[in-house]
Amino acid sequence: PYWSKDYTEITFNGNGGAGSMQNQIHDRYASVMLLFENKFTRDGYSFVGWNTVADGSGVAYSDCEYFMPVEANGKSEVILYAQWKENSTN
């Protein structure tokens, strides 16, 4: 992790998806930033956004949504988990 009190490092977790994404580092004093675009894939599922909790019960973010560093609540590291919706088989 990027160890500095002035920055927040966002780690993107595929949460069952395949692939990888680089971490995103943000200045905590910046007003806002855009989250990186999702690069994960999952067979039979569609990506529907990010969440601070793997089961989707935390704070939700859309792909490429604005993120305010103050939303990290003083944490130097934030993990965003991919959220998936199973594709219909019609």
19, 88 contact by CB (below 8 A): no
Q: Is residue 86's pLDDT more than 60?
A: yes
Distance CA(44)–CA(68), nearest Å, equals: 32
Distance CA(77)–CA(22), nearest Å, equals: 14
Q: What band does 79 get if pLDDT is binned at 50, 70 and 90? A: very high
Predicted TM-score (pTM) of the model is: 0.85
Q: Rounded to 5 degrees, what are φ and ψ at 58? A: -100, -145
76, 2 contact by CB (below 8 A): yes
CA proximity to 21, closest of 10, 34, 6, 5: 10
pLDDT at residue 85, rounded to an integer? 97
pLDDT at residue 44, rounded to an integer? 96
pLDDT at residue 51, rounded to an integer? 94
What pLDDT, in 10s, does the model give residues 14-60?
999 999 999 998 876 766 788 999 999 999 999 999 999 999 999 89
